[in-house]
Amino acid sequence: MHRFPDYLLKGHANFMAGRYTREKDRYRDLASIGQSPQTMIIACCDSRAAPEMIFDSTPGELFVLRNVANLVPTYQPDGGQHGTSAGIEFAVKALGIANIVVMGHGRCGGIKAALSPDSSPLDSGDFIGKWMKMLGGLPEQIGHNELMTPGERQTALERISIRNSIANLRTFPYVADLEAEGKLAVHGAWFDISTGELWIMDSETGDFLRPDL
Amino acid sequence: MHRFPDYLLKGHANFMAGRYTREKDRYRDLASIGQSPQTMIIACCDSRAAPEMIFDSTPGELFVLRNVANLVPTYQPDGGQHGTSAGIEFAVKALGIANIVVMGHGRCGGIKAALSPDSSPLDSGDFIGKWMKMLGGLPEQIGHNELMTPGERQTALERISIRNSIANLRTFPYVADLEAEGKLAVHGAWFDISTGELWIMDSETGDFLRPDL
Amino acid sequence: MHRFPDYLLKGHANFMAGRYTREKDRYRDLASIGQSPQTMIIACCDSRAAPEMIFDSTPGELFVLRNVANLVPTYQPDGGQHGTSAGIEFAVKALGIANIVVMGHGRCGGIKAALSPDSSPLDSGDFIGKWMKMLGGLPEQIGHNELMTPGERQTALERISIRNSIANLRTFPYVADLEAEGKLAVHGAWFDISTGELWIMDSETGDFLRPDL
Amino acid sequence: MHRFPDYLLKGHANFMAGRYTREKDRYRDLASIGQSPQTMIIACCDSRAAPEMIFDSTPGELFVLRNVANLVPTYQPDGGQHGTSAGIEFAVKALGIANIVVMGHGRCGGIKAALSPDSSPLDSGDFIGKWMKMLGGLPEQIGHNELMTPGERQTALERISIRNSIANLRTFPYVADLEAEGKLAVHGAWFDISTGELWIMDSETGDFLRPDL
């Protein structure tokens, strides 16, 4: 028998006294009417990159899927249990969201493991190793570029991976169709933990740029 | 060419002017030293149940994996790409977290789809249908109990599913081992969107109870 | 020869010095004019769930029938001595009450005996066993659901039993008629001994919800 | 769809803010440890004669069965559904209570209906008529005594009925046995709504006397 972590209970008491008290009506409505978020965020599990913090969002605003390194697989209707694909399907087909944002971030542990599988505390044969295989040969192609610093290679792969996930997203027929009809927009973003800045992917060029705030 | 959603840019500007300005040092440290969260939360993608809001948490505190209906599969080292398992492995083996919380919530769309696959906008043959198959026969066993109201069956399955995920978590050898050594604790919780309350699973009985706040 | 319990005599002296002194005029009027309660409560004998405490009520307000597990039988005008039916008849036809509340509660000993007749200190062939047979096959239908904890099964049956009693109430022709005419309303409620909270049955869905206090 | 009576919701809010707040620990203990009342009260449904008010009692103190006119049948193990007998059995065998008090009161509507069945709004063939038949020929024997006033006949039958119920109580084998062993005491009491006074039955003579308060 063990107790629930005390600091989480205190955090929840703060929530009740703070945000919940202020937004009680909104929570009640969200419960009775249901959610209708406009945007799905596909983000990383990293504790430093919570989308609701980064976008200062209110309850009901963001449908958020988080996996290691914010990866999106290709469309594989093979009967397997694809959690990320299930989330995308639910967001697009059941909720009718208008935007999908693939949001990566700096100093991502999953990307780092993909770049340097040998120095990772994880075996490449483990789940992480197999999960990061979703990137195919991308880590090797950038990892062997000795002209870039390790930090540059890491940032480069973080951004390459976002573009790769967006390409994979478009292999989902309903994503491609709705995007073609102008009913769904797909975006990329990259969060800099150190500076707090969000870099937005230019949908034409694929470049990541800081917006004018 | 399409623009990044304006309300997200505004939200991020609020983040920069608010939380980031207040916690700048913390973000810098988290970037340079790395994350060391004590707790992993396995939560749902639902836009109304963001763990960071519910626990009023600060950056770096929670490693958060979110999939549809906060499901955990059994340990299946079969070479497949198991995103949830990869997240658990990363949290336990790379980050050495001390707590895993499986957090469900009321009015969960995934659980609802599992209980009434026919009235769902999603085909049961789609990703969601296959994903919710992780619950095996549990939905049928509770869904056919006509003595309970639809709302009661939904709440019951949400909680049964949390206990099922916790049982599945313990099929991961390192989870079971660390738990036996007292180095890792596994918890269940259920969030009531309407009232804002968190119900904590009693680790002995499996019952969900509200803590004294 | 034995004495009346001393603590009851002291309690009554407190009543005389307290409530009776404050409400003397009300008691006199209630004696001379007669009672005219608006509400009948059908409650359990349990010492922890007295309706007058739970509703902080004044003398003359509640007509209260209490039996084990607050059960209501179906309308059986067979010449037998039906105490609960006599109370309902008196409340509706002689007093013209406007509301009937069937109020159950958590940790009910009668419901527990119905769920686990073998571990009860009472033989199922005794009065309690026969009395709880009024629930028919309901205990078996919920009691065999191993997916739920014993506590969850108990709460579920407590609430199912309230809905069952309300359905039985409506087999009384005058209850059904007056309800159809809008002159009598039938309600369900469930009292949580531990938290003191009252959960009210939604008359449409049958769900139990806490009211906004 | 109809609302729960507003005055009951307000009453419960008063309970939460008042008694529950003061006795929270007691309620928690009563919930977790279970009830262990020393006394069972068999009382009338009358809204003016709530035992918890009359004895100024605290939660957990009194196990209270209430039917019309506080009647106790004889021991009839015939397989019928005897609610009052089930309550007595539960109190004596499952809870091991030490006292049973049969408490009548003045101006009892059930006793009045038994004395003047023709002027009652209820047919004698209805449930109340059959229920009051438990008194056998007692109402006729006192009702035809023209030397007493109607008020005297009513009070007399109220007290005769209490003694009759006590005699019936002693037909339950376990009541008789435990009483013989000195482990259970059976008492009579009569509450005067107008004056608030409790008249205690002398266990030797059967007379009702006011105790020295």
* Residue ranges of domains in chain B: 1-33, 35-209
Burial B150-175 (b: 16+ CB within 10 A, else e): ebbbbbbbbbbbbbbbbebbbebeeb
The shares of helix, strand and coil residues in chain C, as percent rounded to the nearest 5, are 45, 15, 40
Query: Binning pLDDT at 50, 70 and 90, where does residue B121 land?
Result: low
**Chain A partners of B4 at a C-beta cutoff of 8 Å?**
101, 187, 189, 200, 211
**At which residue do the structure tokens 């009450």 appear?**
C97
> Chains contacting A with at least 3 CB pairs below 8 Å?
B
Tens-digit pLDDT profile for chain A (213 aa)?
Answer: 578 999 999 999 999 999 999 999 999 999 999 999 999 999 999 999 999 999 999 999 999 999 999 999 999 988 788 999 999 999 999 999 999 999 999 999 999 999 987 776 666 568 999 999 999 999 999 988 888 999 999 999 999 999 999 999 999 999 999 999 999 999 999 999 999 999 999 999 999 999 875
**Chain B partners of C166 at a C-beta cutoff of 8 Å?**
none
D34 sits in the region (left: phi over 0; alpha: psi -120 to 50; else beta) called: left
Select the residue of A47, A56, A94 nearest B62 (Cβ to Cβ). Answer: A47
B35 at A interface, C-beta within 8 A? yes
A181: Cβ contacts below 8 Å, ≥ 6 apart: none
**Chain B partners of C206 at a C-beta cutoff of 8 Å?**
149
Side-chain half-sphere exposure of C179, counting CA atoms within 13 A: 18
> Chains contacting B with at least 3 CB pairs below 8 Å?
A, C
Q: What is the pLDDT of residue C64?
A: 98
Residue A64 CA to residue B48 CA, distance in Å, equals 10
Is the CB of D86 less than 8 angstroms away from the CB of C48? no
Strand order in the sheet with A185-191: A208-209, A198-201, A185-191, A99-105, A39-44, A62-67, B62-67, B39-44, B99-105, B185-191, B198-201, B208-209
**Does A contact D via 3+ CB–CB distances below 8 Å?**
no
> Chains contacting D with at least 3 CB pairs below 8 Å?
C
D124: Cβ contacts below 8 Å, ≥ 6 apart: D117
Please state, in angstroms and as integers, the Cα–Cα distance from residue B65 to each residue in A157, B149, B163, following that order: 21, 31, 17
B137 at A interface, C-beta within 8 A? no
Using a 10 angstrom Cβ sphere, with 0-12 exposed, 13-18 middle and 19 or more buried, the burial of residue C45 is buried
C101: Cβ contacts below 8 Å, ≥ 6 apart: C39, C40, C41, C42, C187, C188, C189, D4, D5, D8
β-sheet bridge partners, residue C190: C104, C199
Q: How many residues does chain C have?
A: 213
Residue B148 CA to residue B134 CA, distance in Å, equals 23
CB neighbourhood size of B194 (10 A): 18
Report the candidate in C82, C62, C70 with the shortest Cα–Cα distance to residue C44.
Answer: C70
Tell me the pairing of strands A99-105 and A39-44: parallel
Task: Report which residue type is found at D12.
Answer: H
Is the CB of D127 less than 8 angstroms away from the CB of C50? no
Ramachandran angles phi, psi of D160, nearest 5° = -60, -40
Task: Identify the weakest region by mean pLDDT among B20-29, B82-91, B141-150, C175-184.
Answer: B141-150
Kindly tell me if the per-residue pLDDT of C213 is higher than 70.
Answer: no
**Does C contact D via 3+ CB–CB distances below 8 Å?**
yes
B:C CB pairs within 8 Å: 42
Mean pLDDT within B28-38: 95
Tokens representing B76?
């299946």
Tens-digit pLDDT profile for chain D (213 aa)?
Answer: 578 999 999 999 999 999 999 999 999 999 999 999 999 999 999 999 999 999 999 999 999 999 999 999 999 988 788 999 999 999 999 999 999 999 999 999 999 999 987 776 666 568 999 999 999 999 999 988 888 999 999 999 999 999 999 999 999 999 999 999 999 999 999 999 999 999 999 999 999 999 875
A39 at B interface, C-beta within 8 A? yes
Q: What is the pLDDT of residue B63?
A: 98
Query: Binning pLDDT at 50, 70 and 90, where does residue B9 land?
Result: very high
**Chain B partners of A60 at a C-beta cutoff of 8 Å?**
47-48
Scan residues 65-94 of C and list those with Cβ closer than 8 Å to B.
none
Select the residue of D47, D56, D101 nearest C18 (Cβ to Cβ). Answer: D56
B6: Cβ contacts below 8 Å, ≥ 6 apart: none
Averaged confidence pLDDT in chain C: 94
Is the CB of B196 less than 8 angstroms away from the CB of A20? yes
Report the candidate in B126, B170, B63, B168 with the shortest Cα–Cα distance to residue A67.
Answer: B63
Mean pLDDT within C48-53: 97
Task: Report which residue type is found at C170.
Answer: R
Mean pLDDT within C114-128: 77
β-sheet bridge partners, residue D40: D63, D100
**Does C contact B via 3+ CB–CB distances below 8 Å?**
yes
Homologous superfamily in CATH for domain D35-209: Carbonic anhydrase (3.40.1050.10)
ipTM: 0.96
> Closest residue of B to A21, CA-based?
B196
Residue C109 CA to residue B7 CA, distance in Å, equals 55
Query: Binning pLDDT at 50, 70 and 90, where does residue B122 land?
Result: low
D119 at C interface, C-beta within 8 A? no
Ramachandran angles phi, psi of D198, nearest 5° = -110, 125
Select the residue of B145, B149, B195 nearest C145 (Cβ to Cβ). Answer: B145
CB neighbourhood size of B10 (10 A): 13
Q: What is the pLDDT of residue C121?
A: 66
CB neighbourhood size of D130 (10 A): 19
Give one DSSP letter per residue of B2-31, joined into a string.
Answer: -PPPHHHHHHHHHHIIIIIHHTHHHHHHHH
> Which of 3.30.465.10, 3.40.1050.10, 3.50.50.60, 3.10.300.10 is the CATH number of A36-209?
3.40.1050.10
Q: Are A190 and A104 in contact (CB under 8 A)?
A: yes
Instruction: Provide the H-helix boundaries in chain B.
Output: 6-15, 21-22, 24-33, 51-54, 83-89, 109-115, 127-132, 138-143, 150-169, 173-180
**Chain B partners of A63 at a C-beta cutoff of 8 Å?**
45-47
Q: What is the pLDDT of residue A81?
A: 85
* Three-state secondary structure readout of C64-85: EEEEHHHCCCCCCCCCCCCHHH
CB neighbourhood size of D80 (10 A): 14
Q: What is the pLDDT of residue B81?
A: 84
Q: What is the pLDDT of residue D81?
A: 85
Residue D85 CA to residue D75 CA, distance in Å, equals 7
- Best D66, D71, D76, D205 member to test C by mutation, with max C CBs in 10 Å, is D66
Q: What is the pLDDT of residue B80?
A: 82
> Chains contacting C with at least 3 CB pairs below 8 Å?
B, D
β-sheet bridge partners, residue C42: C65, C102
Ramachandran angles phi, psi of B60, nearest 5° = 95, -5
**Chain C partners of D24 at a C-beta cutoff of 8 Å?**
196
Tokens representing C52?
């007058």
Ramachandran angles phi, psi of B40, nearest 5° = -105, 135
Kindly tell me if the per-residue pLDDT of C14 is higher than 50.
Answer: yes
Kindly tell me if the per-residue pLDDT of B213 is higher than 50.
Answer: no
Residue A107 CA to residue B36 CA, distance in Å, equals 13
Q: Are C134 and C184 in contact (CB under 8 A)?
A: no
C146 to chain B, closest Cα gap in Å: 10
Tokens representing A73?
């697989």
Residue B158 CA to residue B156 CA, distance in Å, equals 5
Please state, in angstroms and as integers, the Cα–Cα distance from residue B19 to each residue in A93, A121, C59, C159, following that order: 34, 33, 56, 46
Q: Are C153 and D102 in contact (CB under 8 A)?
A: no
B193 at A interface, C-beta within 8 A? yes
Q: What is the pLDDT of residue B124?
A: 57
Ramachandran angles phi, psi of A181, nearest 5° = -80, -5
**At which residue do the structure tokens 């359990």 appear?**
C44
Sign of CA dihedral B51, B56, B57, B58: positive
Averaged confidence pLDDT in chain B: 94
Q: For chain D, how big is the Rg over CA atoms in Å?
A: 19
